[in-house]
Structure 1
Amino acid sequence: MERPARLCGLWALLLCACGGAAAPTETQPPVTNLSVSVENICTIIWTWNPPEGVSPNCSLWYFSHFANKQDKKIAPETHRSKEVPLNERICLQVGSQCSSNESEKPSILVEKCISPPEGDPESAVTGLNCIWHNLSYMKCSWLPGKNTSPHTNYTLHYWHSGLGKILQCENFYTEGQHIGCSFDLTKVKDSNFEQHSVQIMVKDDAGKIRPVFNIVPLTSRVKPDPPHVKYLSFEKGGLYVEWKNPQNFISRCLSYQVEVNNSQTEIPDIFNVDDPKTKCRSSEFEENLEDKICFMVPGVLPDTLNTVRIRVKTNKLCYEDDKLWSNWSQAMSIGNMANSTFYITILLIIPVIVAGAIIVLLLYLKRLKIIIFPPIPDPGKIFKEMFGDQNDDTLHWKKYDIYEKQTKEETDSVVLIENLERASQ
């Protein structure tokens, strides 16, 4: 009976020890003086002070997240910043704890929010879209809001880390119903632009419409210029295509599409080129071989006319967005059009034949009309000639005929006498 009693005592001691370890730690006091401010255009900064009455043995860490429970962060700093469009209400919750363990329960969370901009939401512009063209300039376009005047004068302000201050866009343009503005953006590409973005704000100069904010990461919404096709040739049953990349881009950051339009087919062939493996020809006059890309199009016949166009887009190796294709390059052709002389002759003969037929129809139009629609005789005239009385007019014409005959006979007899007299002499 003694051994079971001892075992029970040991189990009791273990349970007590476990219960002591599982006891909840003391809740830390909340942070103090939590405040929020906005810098640049869309940079929100929260700052706070450490909680009061913290144990000296506590190494303070701060747990923070947004009100939607997203973007959680545990750090020892007493501030936090974030680039976010200010179109909606944004709140940050902050609590303190004595370790960096995410599972530890923080203190009571303190919340601080920033309100959306003032103004009628229906007056704000819609569809604000910005594209970085060829890493040289950015174009932003939008549609006017519903409750706005057609004579509204818009303003666009922008900022990025390469600028010392917020700048205002000056190059406004219109494309149909869209209004836009473009500004230079070449300084950013000289730095480590993968970590940067451009902050945009569109409003009116009178302050009557609600402002709209946007943040454009510099690794997205990039549209290259079209490449330049430099050389075509038929080689080994295929078509050798050589082109030059647009400026400001390297080959590994781009994907390509090669379009070949053959004169004997109605639908062009399109080849996706993500990693060109065709070795380009070296030239002593070539300045930069890295900008030159080559590709062999298989199954192209040399006795046909082939027209080549190329377009490019950014890929996932360097950019987040890979959906914006450039415009097609200028077309370049090689080969001969099959039976081109025959087609040209046909095109020349057909108009001549049509013109001749029209002339013939115009000349014989009356004759064709008589043949197709013969004249109908007048019965009144026929009966009049058959049964009509011989009036004075008829006698007159008969007398005229008799007189004409007599005159003719007398003339003949005179001629005969003259001839006889001449013969007797």
Structure 2
Amino acid sequence: MEVWVPLLIALAGAVIREALFARPPNITYSIDEETCNLHVRWLPAEPPSSNCTQQYKVGMRINGSWNGLTFLVHKETFWTEAVPVGEKVDFGVKTTCDSNDIETADWNDDETFHVVQNGTAGTGAKNINCIWWNKKSMECSWNSGGKASSDTSYKLSYWLPLEDGQNKAKQCRNVTRKESEFRCRFDLDFHHLARIHISVQGKSANIQTTCFITESVNSLVKFDPPSFTDHSKNRNEMFLQWNKPVGFSDSCCDSEVEVNSSKSEIKHFKHTYSTTIPLEPNVQHSFRVRIQSEKGHWSDWSDVLFDSSPPSTTSTYLWLILIPLCVALLLVILLIYLKRIKLLIFPKIPDPGKILKDVFEEQIENQPAHETVNNDETHSLMLVEPAGNEK
């Protein structure tokens, strides 16, 4: 008899455990492919004993990995959870009396439900990527599915949990396509938005829906590149100041300043938009800045700001010597060619007296010798004639 006591106790424990963790009756589910929400409902289960406060343990498995458990009080016989449509999704529901029971070891494959999704596997959009520009507008891009035909068209819907009362998704209207890449941009001006569900659906029934879900929409934020608003140099330091995103507090963003000189380094700053950077002497520096929202993307780098440090003393002396030498050399060259330049501008005027003198001298030299003698005799006769008259 004593041998059967432990067996009876174990059997009773198994029965009680089976009753505690039984599946509630009439479990049904549906998927809203526009909002990416899985809706599960069931009928209330009877508690195994009067000491049990009936609760329901629900869990979801994504591609074979448990995504966590959610506990609901016994009066709630439904469960709604965002699911990545397009992936392999399973879920399970069990009863429990212990709200601290979160183990998944007691979940068997035959106790879970596989979520059947519409469309042909491999046709859904892939590589979905969304950027929330300045928390003003969101732009999403994706590629067509590997098994989708080349003429497949897609549409994008987005759903915000804060609008759960309406339970309707909104459409992004301006979808553009370039080869196999699609893009769509829509206004989204909510500074305190927590989550967003993005659904990319085919325009035909055989295209499988794909959902993009983020638990922190701030991780999608990307600001425009900042710009330097002020800078000043004081000896061997450079003061830098850049602008913060419009409409945001001083503590919204982190910043990085890239300093390039003889070496390159990036300095990180939290919740500030100004800093002082030490400078290396006699080295040219350049600066760039970018900002990041909380857990979000880094912005692109700003335009480069250059700082030209003064040259060294040796270079100064060298220039002081070279500049006067160059000036003196230019003056010498100018004086040498000044006369030639003057002649080109003002040509030399000939001297008439010198020209006539040269002509007369040339004629005298060319006269014959007898003409010279006759001239002398005639001149002598003329001199003698007055003397004969006196006789």
State if a TM-score over 0.5 links the two structures. Answer: yes
Map 1:306-321; keep pairs closer than 5 Å: 306-314=285-293, 318-319=294-295, 321=296
Letter matched to residue 271 of structure 1: K
Q: Distance in 2 between matches of 1:233 and 1:106?
A: 67
Could you tell me which runs of 5 or more consecutive residues in structure 1 were left unpaired when the two chains were aligned. Answer: 1-11, 277-292, 346-418
Distance 1:103 1:250, change over 3 A: closer
Match of 1:63 among 44, 57, 78: 57
- Identity of matched residues, %: 24
Q: Distance in 2 between matches of 1:215 and 1:107?
A: 26
Shift of residue 197, structure 1, vs aligned partner = 1.8
Is 1:271 aligned to residue 250 of structure 2?
Answer: no
2:208 equivalent in structure 1: 210
1:406 equivalent in structure 2: none
Cα deviations across residues 94-137 of structure 1 (Å, max 9, x unaligned)? 1223343528999998543321231251x333211112222121
Length-normalised TM-score, structure 2: 0.65
Q: Distance in 2 between matches of 1:47 and 1:78?
A: 6
2:126 equivalent in structure 1: 126
Shift of residue 42, structure 1, vs aligned partner = 0.7
Could you tell me which runs of 5 or more consecutive residues in structure 2 were left unpaired when the two chains were aligned. Answer: 323-367, 375-391
2:298 equivalent in structure 1: 325
Is 1:255 aligned to residue 234 of structure 2?
Answer: no
1:227 equivalent in structure 2: 226
Shift of residue 237, structure 1, vs aligned partner = 2.5
Distance 1:86 1:182, change over 3 A: same
1:259 is paired with a residue whose SS is: strand
| 2:255–2:268 contact (8 Å) kept in structure 1 | yes
Q: Distance in 2 between matches of 1:91 and 1:128?
A: 22
Q: Distance in 2 between matches of 1:233 and 1:53?
A: 75
1:199 equivalent in structure 2: 197
1:146 is paired with a residue whose SS is: coil
Distance 1:203 1:299, change over 3 A: same
Q: Distance in 1 between matches of 2:227 and 2:245?
A: 7
1:219 is paired with a residue whose SS is: helix
1:379 equivalent in structure 2: none
Q: Distance in 2 between matches of 1:260 and 1:325?
A: 17
| 2:132–2:139 contact (8 Å) kept in structure 1 | yes
| 1:34–1:112 contact (8 Å) kept in structure 2 | no
| 2:117–2:208 contact (8 Å) kept in structure 1 | no
Q: Distance in 1 between matches of 2:240 and 2:56?
A: 59
RMSD: 4.1
The size of the alignment, in residue pairs, is 308
Is 1:170 aligned to residue 164 of structure 2?
Answer: no
| 1:172–1:182 contact (8 Å) kept in structure 2 | yes
2:384 equivalent in structure 1: none
1:32 is paired with a residue whose SS is: coil
1:326 is paired with a residue whose SS is: coil
| 2:258–2:288 contact (8 Å) kept in structure 1 | yes
| 2:154–2:202 contact (8 Å) kept in structure 1 | yes
| 2:258–2:267 contact (8 Å) kept in structure 1 | yes
Shift of residue 72, structure 1, vs aligned partner = 2.6
Q: Distance in 1 between matches of 2:175 and 2:183?
A: 6
| 2:85–2:209 contact (8 Å) kept in structure 1 | no
Q: Distance in 2 between matches of 1:308 and 1:101?
A: 55
Letter matched to residue 273 of structure 1: F
Q: Distance in 2 between matches of 1:107 and 1:206?
A: 37
Match of 1:183 among 183, 186, 193: 186
1:299 equivalent in structure 2: 279
Distance 1:103 1:238, change over 3 A: closer
Distance 1:114 1:232, change over 3 A: same
2:157 equivalent in structure 1: 157
Distance 1:261 1:178, change over 3 A: same
2:251 is paired with a residue whose SS is: helix
Shift of residue 74, structure 1, vs aligned partner = 3.6
Shift of residue 274, structure 1, vs aligned partner = 3.4
2:329 equivalent in structure 1: none
Is 1:72 aligned to residue 69 of structure 2?
Answer: yes
Shift of residue 160, structure 1, vs aligned partner = 1.2
Shift of residue 300, structure 1, vs aligned partner = 4.1
Shift of residue 241, structure 1, vs aligned partner = 0.9
Q: Distance in 2 between matches of 1:107 and 1:43?
A: 23
Shift of residue 329, structure 1, vs aligned partner = 1.2
Q: Distance in 2 between matches of 1:198 and 1:103?
A: 27
Shift of residue 45, structure 1, vs aligned partner = 1.6
| 1:88–1:116 contact (8 Å) kept in structure 2 | no
| 2:128–2:140 contact (8 Å) kept in structure 1 | yes
| 2:31–2:39 contact (8 Å) kept in structure 1 | yes
